[in-house]
Amino acid sequence: MIWPNEISGASAQRTVDAHAFLTLEHSGFDTITQWQQQRQIALLEWLIKQVPWWRDRLGTGIDILRWHELPILSRLELRKMVALQGAASVPAEHGTITSMPPNAMQTAASRGFYLSEFAQRLISHAYYADHQRQGRNPYATHACIADDVPLHDGDHVIIPPSQIHGCGVQALRNLDLFSKAQHIKWLSHHKPSYLTVQPDWFEVALVHAFARSDALPEIRQILSYGATATDSLRRKARQWLGATVRHRYSCPECGPLAFQCPRSDAYLHVAVGNALLEVVEESGQVKPPATSTESPSTGRILVTALHQYATPLIRYDTGDTGALHAGCPGCGLDVPALSVLRQNV
């Protein structure tokens, strides 16, 4: 990369966005709360003024201090909203709206949702910021084995390196086209630095390969998503592959919700620049984030997407459970963190 004479505008924007995400994460709990409240108010004001369905749902009065009284959005309500209302109007600066097609990664509730250019950009750049958080070389070879990779001929699909998108060679492989043994053999041959994969499937594939004494791949980091990354997978990855697992908690409609703490397997830093997370009891009563001296209490995870206007998510019930902390006990950073995460995929 030649700086600054030949850098593209997209590359500069990616760098700025990633820096903003990481700066906010390191700015302290009070600053994070204040910034998120500004985003919440802006979102509510827009929806009440511009989107009749949400105006009827929320009412016309805005009191950020009574946020927890806003109704919880269920999966059924989200599905009906998308099917009957389509895309909500977005501010002009958010760009065009895209209908996101269904794929295997999405739940029935989230299929066919909408994203603006602005929301898509921030989602992409939040993931890029995680490369810096985890000390990855974004230009190293990255493999992905997933059921939503389009069907392809040959062993894989190669995406060439891109300065604009900030990535090296990507090798994408459809999960269902090959057996577990074939996938492990392919990884051993190509030796990617990083692997994106669903953790439950990959753990089973590793156990089968180990039982057969197959050659196991060398990988620096496993970027898991979807199902919960278990302690047993983390142990196997370290002992058998020399790799660490870096879980990324997300939902298709909002993008990243939390990223693995770089110093602890037990905690994930909430993606505070992209989403507000709450944990509630079955009754809907909010559980305050645990302080460093308190034992965390688990509950249902609610998500508010701070930049998602086209398919708004306000206090959306993900169906997952976890515990919320006011700061990360794993590294001491003063950022909201999740633990005991259970993803009900």
What confidence tens digit (pLDDT) does each residue in 238-284 have? 999 999 999 999 998 899 999 999 999 999 999 999 999 999 999 99
- The residue whose two tokens read 């051993």 is 188
pLDDT band at 9 (very low <50, low <70, confident <90, very high): confident
Burial label, 332 (beta-carbon count in 10 A; 0-12, 13-18, 19+):
exposed
The backbone region for 5, taken as left when phi is positive above 0, alpha when psi lies in -120 to 50, beta otherwise, is alpha
105: pLDDT strictly greater than 60 = no
pLDDT value at residue 162: 87
Mean pLDDT computed over every residue of the chain: 92
Domains of the chain: 9-136+220-342 (3.40.50.12780)
DSSP state string for 242-298 = S-EEEEEEEETTTEEEEEE-TT-SS-EEE-TTTEEEEEE-TTS-B-PPB-TTS----
Question: Which residue from 250, 276, 252, 265 is spatially nearest to 335, judged by alpha carbons?
Answer: 276
Q: Please give the radius of gyration of the chain, using alpha carbons only, rounded to the nearest integer.
A: 20
pTM of the model: 0.93
pLDDT value at residue 291: 87
pLDDT value at residue 254: 92
pLDDT value at residue 103: 45
Q: How far is CA 206 from the centre of its chain?
A: 25
pLDDT band at 4 (very low <50, low <70, confident <90, very high): low
Among 6-10, 104-108, 219-223, which stretch is predicted with the lowest mean pLDDT? 104-108
Over residues 202-222, the pLDDT tens digits come to 999 999 999 999 999 999 999
Neighbours of 87 (CB within 10 A): 16
The predicted model gives 318-327 an average pLDDT of 96
Distance CA(105)–CA(41), nearest Å, equals 31
pLDDT value at residue 345: 65
SS3 state of residue 123: helix
Over residues 279-309, the pLDDT tens digits come to 999 999 999 999 877 788 899 999 999 999 9
pLDDT value at residue 165: 79
Record the tokens describing residue 227, joined without a space: 């199902």
The predicted model gives 153-167 an average pLDDT of 91
Give me the percent of the chain exceeding a pLDDT of 90.
85
Give me the percent of the chain exceeding a pLDDT of 70.
94
pLDDT value at residue 104: 37
pLDDT value at residue 201: 97
37: pLDDT strictly greater than 80 = yes
pLDDT band at 166 (very low <50, low <70, confident <90, very high): confident
pLDDT value at residue 7: 64
pLDDT value at residue 1: 43
Neighbours of 127 (CB within 10 A): 21
